[in-house]
Amino acid sequence: MSARKSAIVTGSATGVGAATALGLARRGYDVVINYTRSADEARASEAACREAGADTLLLRADVADDTACRELVSAAAERWGRIDALVNNAGVTTFVGRGNWDELDAQAFERIMGVNVYGAFNMVRACVPHLKAASGAIVNVSSVAGVTGTGSSVPYVASKGALNALTLHFARALAPDVRVNAVCPGMITTRWFTQGIGAQAYEKLKAQQERSAPLGRVSTAEDVAEAVIWLIEGARTVTGELVLLDSGMHLGNVVAAARPPT
């Protein structure tokens, strides 16, 4: 068994996943870099983690596929003899807006739920024996969409609400051996948003949120990664929490209006 801790971060080729993997590598973890399509970016993420001192595994796997999840976990356990943390970051959506329901079909729901909900369940189920042995931690990367009921599409909102409920269920079911929490970011300055809604709409939304959020900013991938890593490394008495990372947007316009002008 490796003396170093190890972590699996799904969807870690870019964005929050890549930032989390790198942050864990800098804290002494060996890491699995997982991807489905972004092979070049995944190799760059792996290289950054190796440069930070981590041993790495670069594994292509669609988390919606239970067999692929089991194989991914087995590869990590065989390599390091332990799994200390699981970050369920892989996620997909379709950007259709809140009223364009006719653009949605069963296939869209199935794919989004498959990755965002079934994928998290598949990974947790495969990892549980190893996480229990290590007194480990799970962090699900959810969204404020699952709390507020508004987001990029109806199936995405539904999937994140389900992921939040799963977080609470797993926190109860796996205590006291494994802590389970979720982070729920609002807008993040990553390509996921810019490619999804287009550069012009992205800049407009970003400016709007910077004006209206009580903290006057939107999150970076590194902001979210810091919260994920704290829940893994530092939050020894925290489980079953849904941590909102939206600069206070969920507090509403009354609080935002009270923020002093800059």
Phi, psi of 141 (to 5 degrees): -90, 100
Quick one: which of 245, 240, 116 has its CA closest to 181? 240
Give one DSSP letter per residue of 193-218, joined into a string: HHHHH-HHHHHHHHHHHHHHSTTS--
Collapsing DSSP to helix, strand or coil, 14 comes out as coil
CA angle, residues 37, 41, 43, in degrees to nearest 5 = 100
Quick one: which of 208, 209, 206, 215 has its CA closest to 260? 215
Positions annotated as catalytic residues are 156
